[in-house]
Amino acid sequence: MTDTANNIYGFKDGANLTTEYLYDANGNMKTDANKNITAIQYNYLNLPTQVTINGQNILYVYDATGVKLRKTLNTTTTDYANGFI
């Protein structure tokens, strides 16, 4: 994809590779070379549990129904309760 608009927003082509995205058998994205996402792990609900970007991990915790309960990046943890942070 080539974004020819003279705009600071929109798609940022951060890589110039033949294959810039990889997907698993369920259609979930595993890597994104444009955003330096080198790994994404998913749970049984196909929700991301760990995203590795530039060597840093973002961890997600969900309840059994798929509601996000927690996000952790480095030493910062955000807990979610009924849609509130």
Q: Is residue 43 part of a domain?
A: yes
Q: Is residue 64 part of a domain?
A: yes
- Burial (0-12, 13-18, 19+ Cβ within 10 Å), 8: exposed
List the domain range (segments joined by +) for residue 31: 21-79
Q: Is residue 69 part of a domain?
A: yes
Report pTM.
0.78
Q: Is residue 6 part of a domain?
A: no
Q: Is residue 34 part of a domain?
A: yes
Instruction: Output the pLDDT for position 13.
Output: 67
Cα torsion for 44, 49, 53, 56, to the nearest 10°? -140
- Per the structure, how many domains does the chain have? 1
Q: Is residue 55 part of a domain?
A: yes
pLDDT per residue of the chain (85 residues) written in tens, 0 to 9: 565 666 666 666 667 777 889 999 999 999 999 899 999 999 999 999 999 999 999 999 999 999 999 999 999 999 998 767 6
